[in-house]
Amino acid sequence: MAGEINYAELKKGGFMKQKQKGFGSLRLKVIGGNLTAENIRVISEVAEKYGRGYVHMTSRQGVEIPFINVEQLAEVKEALLKGGVETGVCGPRVRTVTACQGSEICPSGCIDTYTLAKELDERYFGRELPHKFKFGVTGCMNNCLKAEENDVGIKGGMEITYNEEPCFSCGVCVKVCRTGALSMEDGKVVLDASKCNHCGRCVKSCPADAWVGTPGYIVSFGGTFGNFIYQGEELLPIIGDKETLFRVTDAAIEYFEENAKPSERFRKTLERLGIDGLKEKVRKAYEGGEE
């Protein structure tokens, strides 16, 4: 690494300049917060050999190894790769896709968040854009992964249907519903669909399986939680299939790419232009048509 050090190029590889001259904090690639035991082993070895024997956990499920000497960066990357660990990214591109443990692990989960995070990562990770762009996937309404703080947030939910036959009017669903969408009238459960927020708690708690839930994706757009804080907005109904979901996420990222000024965050673009343009674009994508 002779001559001038190109920090912009280095940053792509997730190497963040430290106050200490010649050292950087090396961001590693993590998808959905999961690392294998082998990954952790090699990270540990590298932190001891090349860093100062510790790692830093970032706010978005990433791992960084501080105090990496820039002269040893290539060697470090090679050592990490042997344990299946790649470097992450920073700068104006698609960042780490975060995820909770989702329906494969968590009893509250409505969707398989980790699989979706991997798919989003394959589709978008590192893609160059006018500014940073964050995806976050959370499995249910409990929102452990804070969907709305991301440029595109995806939250698991359920579309619900009620079968009267197996229902024995135990009353549990009426009580677990947090939006007051369910009531008991003459011993029968009545749904006010306009109040349903698709949390699926009725489905999860129903002892008779009278409530049946179809998992779906609730998408929010334009969230940010740094210097400027804004809660991403839901612009569409719950999405029932991945094909539609990816059409919608493609549309959102394209809209950002086409309309943002350089170094302008998604939310700022939406503030400058108003939300209607994006709304129309994602609506078309949701409805399935070519635009």
Q: Per CB under 8 A, does 172 bind another protein?
A: yes
Calculated CA dihedral for residues 29, 31, 32, 35, nearest 10 degrees: -70
Binding mask 61-100 for another protein (x = CB under 8 A): ----------------------------------------
Taking CB under 8 A as the criterion, the residue among 56, 82, 127, 175 binding another protein is 175
**Cβ density class 66-91: b for 16+ within 10 Å, e for less:** bbbebebbeebbebbeebebebbbbb
Least separation in angstroms between residue 147's CB and another protein is: 21
Q: Give CA–CA dist 222/149, Å, rounded.
A: 8
Taking CB under 8 A as the criterion, the residue among 2, 4, 37, 107 binding another protein is 107
Size of the site for another protein (CB under 8 A): 14
**Which is closer to another protein, CB of 178 or CB of 261?**
178
Taking CB under 8 A as the criterion, the residue among 170, 179, 259, 279 binding another protein is 170
Q: Give CA–CA dist 228/115, Å, rounded.
A: 30
Least separation in angstroms between residue 140's CB and another protein is: 12
Q: Per CB under 8 A, does 106 bind another protein?
A: no
Taking CB under 8 A as the criterion, the residue among 144, 176, 191, 212 binding another protein is 176
**Which is closer to another protein, CB of 143 or CB of 231?**
143
Q: Per CB under 8 A, does 143 bind another protein?
A: no
**Which is closer to another protein, CB of 18 or CB of 142?**
142
**Which is closer to another protein, CB of 173 or CB of 219?**
173
Least separation in angstroms between residue 174's CB and another protein is: 8
- Strand 211-221 and strand 233-234: the pairing is antiparallel
**Which is closer to another protein, CB of 207 or CB of 226?**
207
- What part of residues 181-200 is at the interface with another protein (CB under 8 A)? 184
Taking CB under 8 A as the criterion, the residue among 49, 52, 178, 261 binding another protein is 178
Give the chain's length: 291
Q: Which stretch binds another protein (CB under 8 A): 42-50, 110-118, 125-133, 202-210?
A: 202-210
Q: Under the rule (CB under 8 A), what is the footprint of another protein?
A: 107, 168, 170-172, 175-176, 178, 184, 201, 204-207
